[in-house]
A and B are shown apart, each in its own frame.
Chain A
C-alpha cells in the first residue's frame, strides 16, 4: 500500500508526503506509524481492510504491532481491554453488528478508564442484513462514554487517528476514543492524503510511549485490583469522574488540534462551519455527506441565497455551545440524521441540537429533521438542495410544515408487488422412498440405503438456480448433494456468510422451502428455538391444519467463520441436544468479507489477514478440528463429507436425518472449494477436495453414538498422496512447496499425520 506521490511542501512545520489511499488504508497507515503494541480484531465489512492492510505491512516488516485475530468482536474487545489494562497502546477497528456485539465491553473500557483507539467504520445495523454505510452503529456509541471524533474523508481519517491516541492518553482524559468514518464512502474511496513523512515526527507528537504514571497490571511492585464489585453509593462517583473527564476531553481536543494544525497545516476545529458567518439557512450533516453539501452551499450562494453548512468534528462531548453559537441568526436549519432513533421524533443529532438551542435560549431558529441515506443510500447534491428548500420554506413561512420525516423512502409500484413465482415443493417429490435409514433390530445399528446419484436427479433441488455465487463455488454443489440425501420437508437456517448472502439478495431468494437467517454468532441458538417451538406447537395441535405430512428436518447451514464466532451457541445447542442438524461448509476462511483467516485455515495458508512476505509465511497456527470438538459434546452423530465421494455423503445425510428426527443434534462438516480465494482454477474444484481427502488432511469419517468409523480410507484404497500434491494447485498455498517454507510444510504434515493416526486409533477402538 501507500504509494508515495511526491514530497510536498508542508503547510506546517513537519515534513510531509502525499499518498493516494482510501480511508481504511489511512487508518492502517496511521496505526503503523504510531506502532501500537496490540490490535485485537475480527473481520466485518467495511472495516476489515484495516486489519488486512496492517497484516500486509507486517508481512513486509513495516511495523511490529501484535495482530490478534479474535473469535468474534466480543472477543476482540476483550483482547483490547486486557491489552490496554496491561499498559500498552491498543488499536481496533470494527463496524455495524460487530460493534454491537462488543457493545457491552465499551462502557467497561471507558468506566475503568483504560485509553485505546478504535475506528468505527460506520455501517448500518439492521435486521434484513445491510452492509452499507449509515450512522446507526455510531448512534449506539453515543452513550458508551468514549469521546468520538468524526472523519469526513480519508485525510481526516489519518489525522484523527493521530490526534485520537494523544487525546485518549492525556492525563486529563484517560478514556478510550472512537474515530468514526463513513463505510464505503470514506473507507473505500481513494484520495490524495498528506501524511507525516517520518515516524519519528509522529512519535514526537503522540509520545514514543504512553505517558507514565498510570497504574497497569504488569507492575509487580504496585499490585492493583481492576474492575471491583461496586454498587451504590460509590458507583455514581465513578460516573461523575468519567463525565468530568469526558467534558475535559473537549478542551483537551481543542488544544491538541491546534498543536496538530501548527505541525501539519490542517486544522479540525470542533465544528466545521462552511459559509456560516451570515447564513440565514443551514444544513447540518455528518461526515461524507457534510462535504457534498458544501458544493450545494456554493451553488445557492451564487443564486444569492445565504446558505451555510455545519458539520461536527467531534460529537462526544457534544459541542452544544458551539452549535448554539453557530445557529444564532440562522432562520432555519435542516438536520439530516443518517440513522433513526425510532420513536424519538428525530434522530439523535436533531434532538441534541434542539436541546442545544433550548439550553442557550434560542427559540427562533426553525428546525427541520430528516432521516436520510439509510443503509448506504447515496446522498446526491440534489438531495442537499432538497434539504435547503425545506429550510428556506420554513424561514419564509415562519413555521415548519413537517418537523420530522424520512427523506428518500419510496412507496413502490403496486403492479410490481411480489407474487409467488414457484409452487411450493410437493411433498411426494421430496419423499422419494429411494433413501431409507432404519435401525436393525438384531445388531442395533442403523441400516442405510441410498441409490446412485442418477436416480436422485428426479428429486427437486431445494435451492433454485439464479443465486449469485462465484463461478465454481463449492458451497452449492456440496449443500445440494447433502440435501439429496434428506427426504421430506426441511426448514433451513443459514448463518451469515456467502451462502446466505448470495441466495437472498432482496427481493430475490433462491430458497424454495422456508429459510431463516440470523447473525452468525447465534444461528444454532436460533434454530434450537425454532425446533422447540415446532415440537411444542405440534404437541398443542396447532400445526394440524398446515398440510404437514411428516416432521420437518431442521438444518442449520454455516461456514467455518460461523463456527468460530458461533462456537459457543453451537456447543450450547449440542449439549442441549435439540433435534436438528448443523452442517458446516468449510472453505478455510472468511470468504464473504474478503478472505480473512478463520481458525479452520490451515498453517501457512495465505489469506488477507495471514499474508506471505519476508517477515511472515501465511497463517501462524494450525487449523481447528471442529468435528472433534463437536464430537466431544457426545451428540448422537458427527460426520465429515465431501462432494468428491458422493455416495459416502449421501449415506451420512440419511443417517443425519434419522438422528436429527429421532435422537438429537447432528453436526457435519463438508470441505468445499472457494476458487476465488484459494486462487485456484474453477473447474478443478472437485479434484482439489478429493486431493484434500486423499492427503488425509480431510479424512472422511463419522462418530456414531460415540463410535468412530473411518468411511473412506485413502491408505487402504492405495490413494494416499503427499500434502504437497494438494497444496501445489492452489495459489494460496503454492509458496509452501518452496524450500524456504519447508519448516512450515513439515509442521503442517506432522499435524495432519498426528490427527490421522489418532483418528485411526479411534477407528480401531470403540472406547476412544
Chain B
C-alpha cells in the first residue's frame, strides 16, 4: 500500500519534470532508498513495472534502486553506528536513547532521457 502511494508521487514528479524540460521518454530512473525506509524493493519494482505501462513518458523507464545505509546516533556516548546490525541499542554503551539519522529517505537521484 505504501509502495503504491510513493509510486503515484514519483510518477507525478517525473511527469512534471518531463513537461518542464520537454522530455518525451525517460529511459531510466535512479532512486536512492534508505535501508529502513520501509520500502520493500522487490514489491516496489513490481508496482513500478505495472504502473509505468499506463504513462507514455514513463513506459520505457527502468527503475534502478540504490541503497542508502541506515545510521543511528547514540545521544548518551555521541557515537554513530549501523542501524541494521545493532538496532536500537547502542553497541558501545548499551544506551537505548538513540535516534536514526539516516536511512529513512527515498530520493530521486537522476533520470536518463532520450
Chains A and B form a bound pair: no
* Chain A residues engaging chain B, CB cutoff 8 angstroms: none
